[in-house]
Amino acid sequence: MKMEEFLVQLDGVSKFYGATAALVDVRLRIGRGITGLLGPNGAGKTTLIKVLLGLVRISAGRGMVLGCSIGRSARSIRQQVGYMPEDDCYIAALSAVETVQLGARLSGLPGREALRRAHEILDFCGLKEERYRQAATYSLGMRQKLKFALAIVHDPRLVILDEPTSGLDPIEREEMLSRIQVLARKFGKAVLLSTHILPDVQAICDEVVILARGRVRMAESLESLNRPAEPAYWIQTVGPAAPLADWARTQGLPVQLDNERRLQLATDDPLLLQRLWQGAEQTGSAIRSVQPAKNSLEAIFLEALEESTHAYP
Amino acid sequence: MPIHDLGYRPWEGRTTSPWTRWMPITQSGVKIAWQNAWMRRLLWAAWLPAFYFALGFFLYEQWLKRTADWITERLVAQNLIQPQEAEDSFKPLLTRALAGEAVEKLPFAQRAMVRMALATAQPQIDRLLREGRRQLDEMLPGVPKTLDRHTIWCWLMGMFFRYPQGMVMMLLVGMLAPPLAARDVSSKAFLLYFSRPIGWGDYLLGKLGVLWVYLGIISVGPALALYLFGVLLSPSLTVLEHTWDIPLRIAAATVVLVTPTSILALAFSSLTSRSWAAGFAWFAVWFFGYIGYQVIWLRTEWAERWDPSFSAASTEHWSLISFYHVLRTVQGWIFGLESKMVLVQASAAVLVALTAVSLVVLSRRISAPIRQ
């Protein structure tokens, strides 16, 4: 990707609150598509988001968001960015439709247009008749939808979502992820998804940034993270996998027992896989599935965190 | 899915000016406040004193008219002036003279006649003057010594701002301001506002706008209506010559009333997430300041009454502890009712200092949640 195609570029950005370092020398490039921002509590995710929005002054470094400097053009940035905060926040005494209309007007949409757009976006977000109720009476899931609507009502180029699926039931979670995908894939929005929920990242993200103790531990495409360090297959058996594993070892096949019913064949040679089928026939094992092995994002996440703990105790 | 669901659609319209982004905050705040039935009742009640004060304008203008009629009739009866001339030109000029216009400003040909009329009828004018003052005094004590139109109108306006509107303003701000920022603190709404292309100044202006709209309705509105009523009651449009500055004084008095009070009340609101606490602080400032000064003033009065040798130092400087009296002094000066400049300057300095401190508090409190 060319430098000008990156929507967010941070170079050596640091943020200190007194003696506490919230961000340290963050170097980051975020392009189009959906980028997952992962990190444990206190990793600096929210601070990073506030830096991107120009809400907090950085202590060192420089950065550009959508071609605007984060220090000098905060308003221009916020004109083009939509933000869904993690906090349970709402504007008291206003209904959802009034809240979204207000958000649209604060972003510069004219009054009548803002109302029309608010209804349209609330339809998109799945808030139906309840949109006329005060937001203070909403469940957590409904407030998540409302915050999402507020984030996208002004048609931003970059959407920053902080824990968008927390508090949602499985169906609502699927719907929310699908909406995010529609925005990114169909309408070309850049989405920065900050979350604790690794399956969400696995399901929809193109890039993953792992933040720990204010430092970027990893920034790679999900595709490359999904590729195992060495090519391999995962073989899932119906019964115990041990007899098949023992047979394979006697044949000199590079196998490793993963758990009671799964073994890993460390090769991408289809001929060796063919031999394993023969072994299954001989040992009476039933193979349930064969899949190309992937690195577990969770494993990578934990590994990165562990590294950061050792590196910066 | 609703049948009208259009899904997500890009928006490519023209955005509004960045300078007007505070307006939606004001509009939504005004709408929310309007839902409070007590607030609506208070707004209606705030117009009632205007009817009472209109009576003052009516009494004064009637006194002017009666006096001019009486003198003119007397001169006509004495054949000193023709009836037609008296009605067409003499009476309006006489009214202007009685309303305080210098005789030198009147047309040259009429000056002698007006001077003569005023001189010959002086005992009767004094009697009518006393009667006019008595009527006004029954309505509102403390009528100024001179009964020229400008002084009386300013005095009526000053009293209107000082007593009923001062009280209504205190109640209205105490009802409206506490939840304005406190509710945003408790519902963490700051992030929803400040993730938009607005700054804390827009937020502040938007919230103050809510107070200004309602304070305008109870101060500028009735005061200008009162002024208009006075103009309509007057026998001629020369009243505009005498009183053209009063709308400007109303505007200045409103600014003095509205600016420090709204900023102070909003500062209280930003300090807490509980509206009742902000409301308590607001009323406490008024109540304790007022009571404190009244106690000091009464103590001095009693000491002077019972002990003639008691020479109490002036208690006026103690009025600076009372927000009500500080406002009253500056507004009194605006309407020409307060002449002690040292006290006026000190009161103005208190208001400026209070406003500045409140603004600092507001800037820190509003921006604090998003900087954390």
pTM, full prediction:
0.83
| CB contact B36 to A (< 8 Å) | no
* Residue A131 pLDDT level (bands cut at 50, 70, 90): very high
Determine the 3-state secondary structure of B129 from DSSP. helix
| CB contact B192 to A (< 8 Å) | yes
Mutation for testing the A interface, residue in B5, B9, B11 having most A CBs under 10 Å: B11
Joined tokens for residue A197: 């929920």
**Cβ–Cβ contacts within 10 Å for residue B356, how many?**
12
Report whether A136 contacts A92 (CB < 8 A): yes
Same domain, A30 and A77: yes
Tell me the mean pLDDT in the region A133-150: 92
Q: Is residue A98 part of a domain?
A: no
Task: Look at chain A and count its residues.
Answer: 313
Closest CA to A126 of A148, A109, A104: A148
Which of A226, A260, A282 is the endpoint of a domain? Answer: A226
What pLDDT score was predicted for residue B120?
Answer: 77
User: Between these two residues, A152 and B113, which has the higher pLDDT value?
Assistant: A152
Which of A178, A207, A226 is the endpoint of a domain? Answer: A226
Report whether A254 contacts A294 (CB < 8 A): no
Residues 6+ apart with CB under 8 A from B328: B162, B166
* Cβ within 8 Å of B, A 109-128: 109-111, 113, 117, 120-121, 123-124, 128
User: Between these two residues, B173 and B117, which has the higher pLDDT value?
Assistant: B173
Lowest-confidence pick of A195-204, B23-32, B119-128, B329-338: B119-128
CB contact under 8 A, A106 and B9: no
How many Cα atoms are found within 13 Å in the side-chain-facing hemisphere of A52?
29
User: Between these two residues, B52 and A297, which has the higher pLDDT value?
Assistant: B52
| CB contact B305 to A (< 8 Å) | no
* Residue B313 pLDDT level (bands cut at 50, 70, 90): low
- The per-residue pLDDT for range A37-85, each reduced to its tens digit, is 998 888 889 899 999 998 888 999 999 999 999 988 889 999 999 999 9
- Phi-psi region at B332: left, alpha or beta (left = phi > 0; alpha = psi -120 to 50): alpha
pLDDT higher than threshold 90 for residue A104: yes
Alpha carbon separation from A226 to A261, A270, A292, A303 (Å, rounded): 22, 20, 10, 15
Joined tokens for residue A98: 């009034």
- The per-residue pLDDT for range B122-161, each reduced to its tens digit, is 788 788 878 888 888 888 888 887 778 889 999 999 999 8
Q: In what order do the strands lie in the sheet with A287-292?
A: A255-259, A262-265, A233-237, A287-292
Q: Is residue A313 part of a domain?
A: no
Tell me the mean pLDDT in the region A96-102: 95
Same domain, A288 and A160: no
Same domain, A21 and A81: yes
Report whether B167 contacts B161 (CB < 8 A): no
Same domain, A80 and A191: yes
Closest CA to B270 of B134, B363, B158: B363
What pLDDT score was predicted for residue A301?
Answer: 78
Q: Is residue A238 part of a domain?
A: yes
Q: What is the DSSP string of A217-268?
A: EEEEEHHHHHS-SS--EEEEESS-SHHHHHHHHHTT--EEEEETTEEEE---
Task: Look at chain B and count its residues.
Answer: 372
CATH number at residue A32: 3.40.50.300
User: Between these two residues, B260 and A92, which has the higher pLDDT value?
Assistant: B260
Number of structural domains (chain A) is 2
| CB contact A55 to B (< 8 Å) | yes
Lowest-confidence pick of A18-32, A103-117, A130-144, B224-238: B224-238
Q: Rounded to 5 degrees, what are φ and ψ at B282?
A: -60, -50
- Phi-psi region at B188: left, alpha or beta (left = phi > 0; alpha = psi -120 to 50): left
Q: Is residue A134 part of a domain?
A: no
Percent over 70 (pLDDT), chain B: 94
What pLDDT score was predicted for residue B4?
Answer: 63
Helical pair B246-270 and B323-334, crossing angle rounded to 10 deg? 160
Same domain, A48 and A164: yes
Distance, in Å, from the CA atom of A160 to the CA atom of A40, rounded to the nearest integer, reads 18
- The per-residue pLDDT for range A7-23, each reduced to its tens digit, is 899 999 999 988 889 99
What pLDDT score was predicted for residue B3?
Answer: 54
Which of A211, A226, A241 is the endpoint of a domain? Answer: A226
pLDDT higher than threshold 50 for residue A313: no
The minimal CB distance from B197 to the residues A79, A90, A92 is found for: A79
What pLDDT score was predicted for residue A212?
Answer: 87
Residues in A closer than 8 angstroms to B19, CB to CB, are none
Amino acid sitting at position B103:
V
Distance, in Å, from the CA atom of A239 to the CA atom of A82, rounded to the nearest integer, reads 51
Q: How far is CA B197 from the centre of its chain?
A: 36
Q: Is residue A272 part of a domain?
A: yes
Alpha helices in chain A (DSSP H): 45-52, 74-80, 96-106, 111-125, 140-152, 170-181, 187, 198-204, 222-226, 242-250, 270-283, 297-311
Same domain, A63 and A181: yes
What pLDDT score was predicted for residue B307?
Answer: 73
* Residue B311 pLDDT level (bands cut at 50, 70, 90): low
Same domain, A217 and A270: no
Same domain, A271 and A186: no
CA distance A217 to chain B (A): 23
Residues in B closer than 8 angstroms to A99, CB to CB, are 192
CB contact under 8 A, A105 and B183: no
User: Between these two residues, A296 and B74, which has the higher pLDDT value?
Assistant: B74
| CB contact B59 to A (< 8 Å) | no
CA distance A124 to chain B (A): 5
- The per-residue pLDDT for range B157-180, each reduced to its tens digit, is 999 988 898 899 999 999 999 999
pLDDT higher than threshold 60 for residue A3: no
Closest CA to B18 of A27, A78, A169, A262: A78
The minimal CB distance from A106 to the residues B10, B188, B198 is found for: B198
- The per-residue pLDDT for range B212-230, each reduced to its tens digit, is 999 999 989 999 999 999 8
Q: Is residue A55 part of a domain?
A: yes
What pLDDT score was predicted for residue B327?
Answer: 93
At B334, which helix (H) or strand (E)?
helix B323-334
- The per-residue pLDDT for range B140-149, each reduced to its tens digit, is 888 887 778 8
Sequence-separated contacts (24+) of B66-70 with Cβ below 8 Å = B66/B128, B67/B98, B67/B125, B67/B128, B67/B129, B67/B132, B68/B94, B68/B95, B68/B98, B70/B121, B70/B124, B70/B128
- The per-residue pLDDT for range A287-298, each reduced to its tens digit, is 888 887 777 677
Report whether B366 contacts B181 (CB < 8 A): yes
Distance, in Å, from the CA atom of B66 to the CA atom of B75, rounded to the nearest integer, reads 14
Same domain, A238 and A193: no
Tell me the mean pLDDT in the region B102-107: 70
Q: Is residue A301 part of a domain?
A: no
Q: Is residue A309 part of a domain?
A: no
CB contact under 8 A, A78 and B6: no
Residues in B closer than 8 angstroms to A66, CB to CB, are none
CA distance B11 to chain A (A): 6
- The per-residue pLDDT for range B322-346, each reduced to its tens digit, is 999 999 999 999 998 877 889 999 9
* Residue A233 pLDDT level (bands cut at 50, 70, 90): confident
Distance, in Å, from the CA atom of A237 to the CA atom of A246, rounded to the nearest integer, reads 14
Q: Rounded to 5 degrees, what are φ and ψ at A293?
A: -70, 145
| CB contact A277 to B (< 8 Å) | no
Bridge partners of A10, per DSSP, are A28, A63
pLDDT higher than threshold 60 for residue B312: no
Residue with tokens 């048609």: A155
Residues in B closer than 8 angstroms to A113, CB to CB, are 13
Lowest-confidence pick of A58-67, A162-171, B109-118, B284-293: B109-118
Same domain, A255 and A156: no
Same domain, A155 and A77: yes
What pLDDT score was predicted for residue B5?
Answer: 65
Same domain, A222 and A237: no
Distance, in Å, from the CA atom of A84 to the CA atom of A193, rounded to the nearest integer, reads 10
pLDDT higher than threshold 80 for residue B261: yes
The residue segments making up the domain with residue A275 are 233-292
Joined tokens for residue A45: 């995710």
What pLDDT score was predicted for residue B280?
Answer: 96
At B88, which helix (H) or strand (E)?
none
Distance, in Å, from the CA atom of B39 to the CA atom of B288, rounded to the nearest integer, reads 24
Q: Rounded to 5 degrees, what are φ and ψ at A292?
A: -60, 135
- The per-residue pLDDT for range A160-182, each reduced to its tens digit, is 999 999 888 999 999 999 999 99
